[in-house]
């Protein structure tokens, strides 16, 4: 992977890039509508076909449901852009579209938008961990814990736990309450409860008209695979070797965005499915840039195209990273941490 900080091109500070990227912020309403149509239409079409074949072949219905997770991931990325008010010029339109999609993705939109804003405002800040990020300890913090604390942290950072248990918990359980914003007012409670009510109505209709098999073999496989996929992408976007973590005194939001977010360089089909979210360093620098304009940024600016680049093959090794080494300023594995001097 390429580290921005070691780039041979002329170094330019992150604040400069934030100014440069404002020119890409304007959404194209026609393009936005088209992106919505080419995502929603296949999603519901595959749902319908899976439901149709369910009475003949449960296996085929499950295969179709799993394939449909790709379009559900893409719907979440559109919801994500709505949360940044970048999908349409109208913030009101973005919010209502985001709320509607949030029912499909099991995500209360106003709650998620607030916690995601906290993530953007605190990513890479060692003194503001806890909301909208994954548990990450420094080597020193890990060593200071007792056997139980270290064991629990190793469990939380295990790939099976992160990409199987956590996605289920986050989307099926945690999202039912405004976790992290429990005392932040009625708006977040309304968002969670209204989303829950809409989901309950949809599930009731599915069981009423199609029986429990529709829920078990179409709804759940699509949701679970999409949730696990989303968790993986969120992980790789910040949990790569040369990411960046700093204490409050040394932290800046622009530098954290540029140095602490990866450019997950994916094959074209995966870029399309994930709404270019792999261009995450640019997204964190300029969150108002619509996802379909992110490739323009890379085309126009080689230094961004080559910075913090992580390929699909390289990303697999990121799953073993677990601790922030403050001395070497990189994420390390548990085995690497054992070899570091005390």
Averages of pLDDT over runs of 10 residues in the chain (342 residues) are: 42 74 96 98 98 96 98 98 98 98 98 96 94 92 97 96 96 95 93 98 97 97 98 96 95 91 96 97 95 97 93 96 96 95 82
Q: What pLDDT sits at residue 342?
A: 76
* Per-residue pLDDT, 140: 96
| Paired tokens of 51 | 């439901």
Say what the pLDDT of residue 18 is: 82
User: Angle formed by the axes of helices 58-83 and 29-54, to 10°?
Assistant: 160
pLDDT at 8: 40
Q: What are phi and psi of 20, to 5 degrees?
A: -60, -40
Mean pLDDT taken over the chain:
94
The confidence score (pLDDT) of residue 85 equals 98
Q: How far is CA 33 from CA 41, 80, 88, in A?
A: 12, 15, 9
Q: What is the pTM of this model?
A: 0.93
pLDDT at 4: 42
- The Cα-based distances of 176 to 111, 150, 225, 287, 341 in angstroms read 10, 29, 19, 26, 44
The pLDDT, as a whole number, for residue 19 is: 87
Whole-angstrom Cα distance, residue 256 to residue 259?
5
């Amino acid at each position: 992977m390429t580290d921005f900080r070691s780039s041979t091109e002329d170094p330019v500070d992150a604040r400069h890039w934030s100014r440069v990227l404002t020119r890409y912020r304007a959404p194209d309403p026609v393009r936005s509508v088209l992106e919505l149509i080419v995502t929603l239409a296949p999603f519901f079409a595959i749902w319908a076909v899976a439901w149709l074949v369910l009475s003949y072949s449960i296996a085929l219905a499950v295969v179709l449901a799993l394939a449909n997770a790709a379009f559900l991931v893409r719907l979440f990325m559109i919801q994500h852009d709505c949360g940044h008010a970048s999908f349409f010029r109208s913030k009101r339109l973005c919010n209502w579209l985001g709320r509607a999609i949030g029912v499909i993705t099991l995500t209360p939109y106003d709650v998620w938008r607030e916690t995601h804003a906290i993530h953007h405002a605190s990513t890479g800040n060692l003194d503001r961990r806890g909301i909208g990020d994954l548990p990450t300890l420094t080597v020193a913090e890990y060593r200071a814990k007792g056997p139980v604390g270290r064991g629990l942290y190793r469990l939380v950072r295990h790939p099976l736990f992160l990409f199987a248990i956590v996605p289920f918990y986050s989307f099926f359980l945690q999202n039912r309450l405004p976790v992290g914003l429990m005392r932040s007012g009625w708006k977040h409670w309304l968002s969670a409860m209204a989303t829950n009510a809409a989901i309950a109505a949809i599930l009731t209709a599915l069981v009423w008209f199609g029986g429990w098999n529709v829920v078990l073999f179409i709804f759940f496989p699509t949701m679970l695979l999409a949730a696990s996929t989303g968790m993986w992408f969120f992980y790789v976007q910040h949990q790569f070797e040369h990411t960046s973590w700093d204490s409050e005194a040394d932290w800046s939001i622009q530098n954290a965005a540029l140095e602490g977010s990866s450019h997950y360089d994916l094959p074209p089909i995966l870029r399309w499915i994930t709404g270019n979210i792999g261009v995450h360093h640019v997204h964190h620098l300029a969150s108002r840039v619509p996802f379909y304009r992110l490739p323009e940024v890379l085309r126009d600016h080689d230094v961004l195209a080559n910075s913090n680049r992580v390929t699909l093959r390289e990303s697999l090794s990121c799953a073993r990273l677990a601790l922030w080494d403050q001395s070497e300023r990189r994420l390390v594995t548990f085995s690497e941490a054992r070899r570091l001097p005390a």
